[in-house]
């Protein structure tokens, strides 16, 4: 069965500093991988996805993620965070047959001025 681990429950970062969120997955084959962001009381918005090809993927809002098969990781990065990036971030692995997603528990990002 597929699963996702996000080791960091909460990260605090200064505005303008870089951000990296960790994600490790377990899946029997080549996975579909996703990062979603959720603001309080809202649904999930897709930041970026990896299906195949280039292992460094670019997303919206200046985010990027790198798929590393050898480490079973898909870490999310942003070079310079903005106050509006404060939110909860979820990594997910998708089944290639039914696109059913399994989510990690999420990482809450706080941005301090």
Place of tokens 């990036």: 85
Q: How far is the CB of 72 from another protein (least distance, A)?
A: 18
Q: Is 33 exposed, middle or buried (0-12, 13-18, 19+ CB in 10 A)?
A: buried
Among positions 16-35, residues that touch another protein (CB under 8 A) are 32, 34
Determine, following the binding rule CB under 8 A, whether residue 46 of this chain makes contact with another protein. Answer: yes
Listed in sequence order, the DSSP H helices in 1-113 are none
Exposure on the CB side of residue 25, measured as CA atoms within 13 A: 29
Interface residue with another protein among 14, 42, 55, 110 (CB under 8 A) is: 42
Q: How far is the CB of 69 from another protein (least distance, A)?
A: 20
Taking the C-alpha atoms of residue 46 and residue 88, their distance in angstroms, rounded to an integer, is 12
Q: Which stretch binds another protein (CB under 8 A): 54-62, 67-75, 77-85, 91-99?
A: 91-99
Contacts with another protein, residue ranges (CB under 8 A) = 4, 32, 34, 36, 41-46, 49, 51, 90, 92, 94, 98-106
């Amino acid at each position: 069965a597929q699963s996702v681990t996000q080791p960091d429950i909460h990260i605090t970062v200064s505005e303008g500093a870089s951000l990296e969120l960790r994600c490790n997955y377990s899946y029997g084959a080549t996975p579909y991988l996703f990062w979603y962001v959720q603001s309080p009381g809202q649904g999930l918005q897709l930041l970026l996805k990896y299906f195949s090809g280039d292992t460094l993927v670019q997303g919206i809002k200046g985010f990027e993620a790198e798929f590393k098969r050898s480490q079973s990781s898909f870490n999310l990065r942003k070079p310079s965070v903005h106050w509006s990036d404060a939110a909860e971030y979820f990594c997910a692995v998708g089944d290639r047959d039914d696109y059913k997603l399994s989510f990690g528990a999420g990482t809450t990002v706080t941005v301090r001025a």
